[in-house]
Amino acid sequence: MSPCPVYLFRSPAFAPSGDTVVSLAPLDRVVAVYGGGGIWGEGGLSSAFGGVAVFKNDTSGERFVGVWGSRNAARFRRELQAHMPTAIHKEAPDARLVFRQAEGERPEKAGRS
């Protein structure tokens, strides 16, 4: 099996600051790691990280899924690397964001009301 391409880049699409870290991999490789939960099911990517981002290459139809936020992105890469060889690409794939979902609200930081 060839190494799984894992994309690591910054995107303006996830926060007002416009500098959010995003990490993506091809859909089939991510589903292989998250088993029956796939992307949205119990035990899937969305439940493991509290959200999911889906990118699509309009020409080839290839889909990439992943997470955003530096901690989530690092954990996502570690979990993929634990299951298969990976190749990190420090750039966005040739694809556009087509969907993102975040579950629930962010917890308040201590000291904020």
Domains: count for the chain: 1
Residue 47 lies in a domain: yes
Residue 111 lies in a domain: no
Instruction: Note down the domain range covering 59.
Output: 4-102
Residue 36 lies in a domain: yes
Q: pLDDT tens, 20-75? A: 999 999 999 999 888 766 676 667 888 889 899 999 999 999 999 999 999 999 99
For the record, the structure tokens of 99 come out as: 């969907």
**pTM for this one?**
0.85
